[in-house]
Amino acid sequence: MIILGVDTSGREGSLALCNGDASSFAVLEFVPLAGGMYSAQLVPQLAAALGRQNLTNSDIDLLAVASGPGSFTGLRVGLSAVKALAEVLKKPVVALTVLEAIAVSVLRTTAVQGGELPKRVISALDAQRNEVFAGEYESCGDEVLKIAESVVSLADFATWLGARTPIPVTYTPDDSVAAKVRESGSPAEHVSRPGADVIARLGLQRYMAGKTVSADDLDAEYIRRSDAEIFAKK
């Protein structure tokens, strides 16, 4: 089946066209998207990628999208495009957060390398403002069960990690977060930030497990409130 993966959650984004089933997975196209240009690039780049593969929108069988956390504007662009395609093409959608994608990728890599799977997986992203987007998950084979996803100060995050026994490893693609965690005496490992190809691969696995979301219910996982909401509350 043809899977479209979309990630517009970060400073830089991507889209991927992939072909996969229960036994195989191949990336046909991986297209980087410049941050701040998602609304202008996403649809034209998708059309170009489909054209290079002699495909059309109707050939897409599954839509997989990063639902957050990250840029409010970027997420709206990606999710709106996926929602529109899903409604028009009547195709299934899978959504997962980047934090969750990091956790699942860590488990898959550990399993492939023959390592012992951790009972808890902690993933983190730089949320700016001296804060971190943190995800805590329980491993269930090669899947994860979300315990919590939140935005906290780096100081509170470091304190929380230090109070755990044993202290968990934090997996993050952001050097600034890894450095702060290590400064607090907790272990941290740098991992690659999942792109649209990883979102597509995990999306296929979720789809095969029956974990889809309707276009109507597709929504962003901002985790942090927008500035407009914060200032209005004040």
Q: What is the CA radius of gyration of the chain?
A: 18
What pLDDT is recorded for position 226?
Answer: 47
Q: How many residues does the chain have?
A: 234
Q: Is the CB of residue 177 less than 8 Å from the CB of residue 188?
A: yes
What pLDDT is recorded for position 232?
Answer: 41
Q: Provide CB contacts within 8 A for 53, sequence distance 6+.
A: 17, 28, 29
Structure tokens at 205: 């696995």
Place of tokens 């492939």: 112
Indicate the domain borders of the chain.
Answer: 2-97+194-233, 98-190
Does the domain formed by 2-97+194-233 have CATH 3.10.110.10? no
DSSP-H helix ranges across the chain: 38-52, 72-89, 98-112, 154-162, 175-183, 196-208, 227-233
What pLDDT is recorded for position 110?
Answer: 87
What pLDDT is recorded for position 234?
Answer: 44
What pLDDT is recorded for position 225?
Answer: 64
How far is Cα 3 from Cα 62, in angstroms, rounded to an integer?
5
Specify the 3-state DSSP secondary structure of 201.
Answer: helix
Listed residue (15, 83, 99, 64) closest to 209, CA to CA: 64
Structure tokens at 170: 């934090």
What pLDDT is recorded for position 230?
Answer: 37
How far is Cα 201 from Cα 16, in angstroms, rounded to an integer?
10
How far is Cα 70 from Cα 225, in angstroms, rounded to an integer?
11
How far is Cα 187 from Cα 179, in angstroms, rounded to an integer?
10
How far is Cα 39 from Cα 42, in angstroms, rounded to an integer?
6
Q: pLDDT digit of tens for each residue in the chain (234 aa)? A: 999 999 999 999 999 999 999 999 999 999 999 989 999 999 999 999 999 999 999 999 999 999 999 999 999 999 999 999 999 999 999 999 999 999 999 998 888 788 887 888 999 999 999 999 999 999 887 788 999 999 999 999 999 999 988 899 999 999 999 999 999 999 999 999 999 999 999 999 999 999 999 999 999 999 986 443 433 444
Per residue, the 3-state secondary structure of 129-177, as one string, reads: CCEEEEEEEEEECCEEEEEEEEEEEHHHHHHHHHCCCCCCCEEECCHHH
What pLDDT is recorded for position 51?
Answer: 98
pLDDT digits (tens, 9 = 90+) for 161-208: 999 888 999 999 999 999 999 999 999 999 999 999 999 999 999 999
What pLDDT is recorded for position 24?
Answer: 96
What pLDDT is recorded for position 98?
Answer: 98
CATH entry, 98-190, from 3.40.710.10, 3.40.640.10, 3.50.50.60, 3.30.420.40: 3.30.420.40
What pLDDT is recorded for position 229?
Answer: 40
- Asked if domains 2-97+194-233 and 98-190 share a fold, the reply is yes
